[in-house]
Structure 1
Amino acid sequence: MTGAKAKGIALAVIGCMAATPAMAQTDIRFTLDWRFEGPAAGFLLAEDNGYFEEEGLNVTIDTGNGSVEAIPRVATGAYDMGFGDINSLIKFLDEDPSQPVEAVMMIYDKPVFSVVGRKSLGVTEDPASLEGKTLGAPPPDGAFAQWPAFVEAADIDTSDITIENIGFPVREPMLASGDVDAVFGFSFSVVLNLLANGVPEDDISTILFADNGLDLYGNAILVNETFAEENPDAVEGFLRALAKGFADAVADPEAGAQAVLTRNETLNLETETRRLEMANETNIRTPYVVENGFGDVDMARLSDSIEMLGTSMDLEGNVTAEEVFNPDYLPPAEERMLP
């Protein structure tokens, strides 16, 4: 082969390589339930540590405005996937089973729904102490969405309870100033925000729904069913990446909190580390998850949850556990074990 001919072949090969596009990544628009805080670390570490990229995904993570609002965001296709309250999803699908949204991975095996009050205002850890009180409730809040079910489970007399609709930004300041006696919210968020507002820790009382008769699941990963049907490998890859990200957040909470602070420099590292540790210990790394792996559910327990919600949320009986949660996209259990 002459030098000229070899050079020509080499140039042709280079030209073909240049004309071949890089492997395409699948775009995923993902909505959180809330802003960037400690418990979001698992999502952010999956991004920062390259796990999404390894799966061929280009993920955009946006903040949310409550774990209820994430559901229509995903159902309408405004977002491909999201993070929202599975109990509110049950209600959403019961009202319209044709909505193209389902849960595919459980994050909060034990829900964080709570009413947080102040002992100095007469609120203790006994649900009955809420009777006669004024409770602040952000309408999109996942805990407030479960109030009817909690009232029934805890046998609370609501005849003299006042519910005041308030916005998320003023929730903790209003409780700190005594304008309300207690507020609805996720325990790890409200408690630490109250401390930041100057409320002494020994004056804070937390009534956790899960410890008072309401054995429900919490927030889960949601997917638009049309997107999932068209991109099953992307959904599987996303969940595999998340399992790694949450494992990292459990192994090193401070690194997880640091990932949060890179998105919101106004936060405090110590506070967000503690918030993440609270979520890990209470809601994410539960005994069930340690034994069975992160992300799956016990279908019998989920069915019992739907039955429990039936009366309190006025369900029509249009949805089953299998229609709410689809485990088919989960990686094998051995890939979902938390440290």
Structure 2
Amino acid sequence: MRHTIRGLVGAGLIGLGLLGAATLPARADTDIKFALDWKFEGPSAPYFVAIDKGYYKAEGLNVTVDTGPGSVAGIARVAAGTYPLGFFDINSLVKFRDQNPDKAVKAVLMVYDTPPFAIVTLSKTGIAKPKDLEGKILGAPAPDGAFAQWKAFVKENAIDADKVKIENVGFPVREPMLAEGKVDAITGFSFSSYFNLLQKGVKPDDIKVMLMSDHGLVLYGNAVIVNPDFAKAHPKEVAGFVRATIKGIIETARDPEAAIKSVMKRNETGDEKIELARLKMALKDNMITAWVTKNGVGDVDMDRLGKSIEQIAVTYDFKAKPTAVDIFTSEYLPPAAERMVK
């Protein structure tokens, strides 16, 4: 009898335990608002792949992705905490940190190992190398991230800047003005200007893209940056976001044709063929470079980052120049073995 009572009591306690476990609320996922630099276009695929494949969910994160105002302007939104995480130009972050030393925004995941900063022209202009810009008209929006590097590009390629006429043009008319011959070349993101020109009826063979990274610039491009208060309060969530995003990048590189479907579900007015081609260009030129293939997705060479800050000094007068460790931290990255593109 004693054993029976013990058994009944034990069964009752187990039952209560099961009942209690069943009635406990499931752990709520952490909501994270993530800001892109621009629209839902091909290069944004990794984040949507990470959502659709459940990579963020597996880290206990409920991620929503918003479009952004450009690779520069959105940094202030992360600094203010409007967005805990965002995807913006690391070179602009260097300047932001100099101007706002009390706002310790940092990059935690490098996405564009080389930036898409480019000079774009047409074959009829005869511009084949940087020096050929002399005597020509360069259309450049004043706030353009690529144009921000102009002085460094001039220095690295011994261009006589006085012989280049700079015309401040708006973003919407930049490619149309080049297509119409009103300017001889433009500054812009390679995978934006190229496909914008295609949509204006320019033939692919007539478009010439001169990547600044192929002509002396050692700069990095866009990275995932984090609000310092959020990082301090939620280090596991930041690490989880980084880990899931890396999985999204690797999966996108493995199968871009499938990845683009995740973008097009959220951009019903876009042209899938163009966005896939845009994504493949970004993967080849900016995301999966030789260095990334060897060292894994997401990290930086701190010596190179330091040199890039020195190069930014050619185009910008620092008050208190930040160092590489002020700008980037690898503390949230998973081990290199988990970051390799296979």
- The alignment's TM-score, normalised by the length of structure 2, stands at 0.91
The one of 121, 127, 130 aligned to 1:117: 121
Q: Which residue of 2 aligns with 1:34?
A: 38
Distance 2:31 2:186 in 1: 38
Distance 2:155 2:227 in 1: 32
Range with bigger deviation, 190-199 or 12-21:
12-21
Distance 2:78 2:147 in 1: 21
Distance 1:182 1:82 in 2: 31
Range with bigger deviation, 231-240 or 306-315:
306-315
1:286-309 CA-to-partner distances (Å, cap 9, x unmatched) read 111111111001111111111122
Q: Which residue of 2 aligns with 1:137?
A: 140
Q: Mark the CA change 1:134 to 1:84 in structure 2 (over 3 Å): closer, same or farther.
A: same
Q: Which residue of 2 aligns with 1:25?
A: 29
Indicate the SS of the match to 1:184: strand
Indicate the SS of the match to 2:107: strand
Indicate the SS of the match to 2:314: helix
**Does 2:153 align with 1:150?**
yes
Distance 1:213 1:192 in 2: 25
1:2-22 CA-to-partner distances (Å, cap 9, x unmatched) read xxx99x989976874565322
Instruction: Answer whether contact 1:34 1:65 (CA < 8 A) is retained.
Output: yes
Map 1:245-284 to 2 at 5 A.
245-284=248-287
Between structure 1 and structure 2, the one with the greater Rg is 2
Q: Which residue of 1 aligns with 2:79?
A: 75
Distance 1:125 1:185 in 2: 17
Q: 1:223: how far off?
A: 0.6
Distance 1:10 1:104 in 2: 45
Give every structure 1 segment of 4 or more consecutive aligned residues whose post-TM-superposition deviation is greater than 4 Å. 8-19
1:253-291 CA-to-partner distances (Å, cap 9, x unmatched) read 111222111111222222111111111111111111111
Q: Which residue of 1 aligns with 2:176?
A: 173
Distance 1:138 1:16 in 2: 62
Q: Which residue of 2 aligns with 1:336?
A: 339
Distance 2:64 2:165 in 1: 40
Indicate the SS of the match to 1:256: helix
**Does 2:56 align with 1:47?**
no
Q: Which residue of 1 aligns with 2:246?
A: 243
Distance 2:157 2:69 in 1: 28
Instruction: Answer whether contact 1:123 1:205 (CA < 8 A) is retained.
Output: no
Q: 1:70: how far off?
A: 2.2
| Aligned amino acid, residue 65 of structure 1 | P
**Does 2:40 align with 1:62?**
no
Distance 2:210 2:284 in 1: 17
Q: 1:232: how far off?
A: 0.3
Instruction: Answer whether contact 2:56 2:244 (CA < 8 A) is retained.
Output: yes
| Aligned amino acid, residue 103 of structure 2 | Q
Q: Mark the CA change 1:80 to 1:231 in structure 2 (over 3 Å): closer, same or farther.
A: same
- The alignment's TM-score, normalised by the length of structure 1, stands at 0.92
Q: Which residue of 1 aligns with 2:202?
A: 199
| Aligned amino acid, residue 310 of structure 1 | A
Consecutive unaligned residues in structure 2, runs of 5 or more = none
Q: 1:137: how far off?
A: 2.5
Range with bigger deviation, 177-186 or 227-236:
177-186
Q: Which residue of 2 aligns with 1:285?
A: 288
Instruction: Answer whether contact 1:310 1:316 (CA < 8 A) is retained.
Output: no
Instruction: Answer whether contact 1:116 1:184 (CA < 8 A) is retained.
Output: yes
Percent identical residues = 52
1:204-254 CA-to-partner distances (Å, cap 9, x unmatched) read 121211111111111111111111010000000001001110011101111
Q: Mark the CA change 1:47 to 1:139 in structure 2 (over 3 Å): closer, same or farther.
A: farther
Indicate the SS of the match to 1:312: coil
Q: Which residue of 2 aligns with 1:90?
A: 94
| Aligned amino acid, residue 119 of structure 2 | V
- Number of paired residues? 336
1:55-111 CA-to-partner distances (Å, cap 9, x unmatched) read 001111111121111211211111111111111111111223222311111111111
Indicate the SS of the match to 1:210: helix
Indicate the SS of the match to 1:138: coil
Instruction: Answer whether contact 2:148 2:315 (CA < 8 A) is retained.
Output: no
Q: Which residue of 2 aligns with 1:319?
A: 322
Map 1:298-313 to 2 at 5 A.
298-313=301-316
Range with bigger deviation, 304-313 or 76-85:
304-313
